[in-house]
Amino acid sequence: MFKIKRWNNKYGNAAKFVVFDEKASKYAEFSPSNPKDIAWVSNDITKNPEYKSWDDWKDEPVDNLGDIIM
């Protein structure tokens, strides 16, 4: 299970999300247009200044990252 933490409020190829993998307890910036380009990290990247202005998705659950489309 994954949780969607934040969204950059863009659509199509420009859409990006901060997601959290509950099983691994790791975070990543995820782009639905390029799903294989993902790097998981242990620290909570939602606290980084570059993501603070992104829309908060309040831990919206999703079973598969491939289900995220914008």
Give residue-wise pLDDT tens across range 31-41: 999 999 999 99
Q: Is 11 exposed, middle or buried (0-12, 13-18, 19+ CB in 10 A)?
A: exposed
Give me the mean pLDDT over the 1-7 stretch. Answer: 98
Q: What is the pLDDT of residue 56?
A: 97
Q: Quick one: pLDDT at residue 69?
A: 81
Q: What is the pLDDT of residue 70?
A: 76
Mean per-residue pLDDT, 45-69: 95
Identify the pLDDT of residue 22.
97
Q: Where are the alpha helices (DSSP H) in the chain?
A: 49-52
Indicate the pTM of the whole model.
0.93
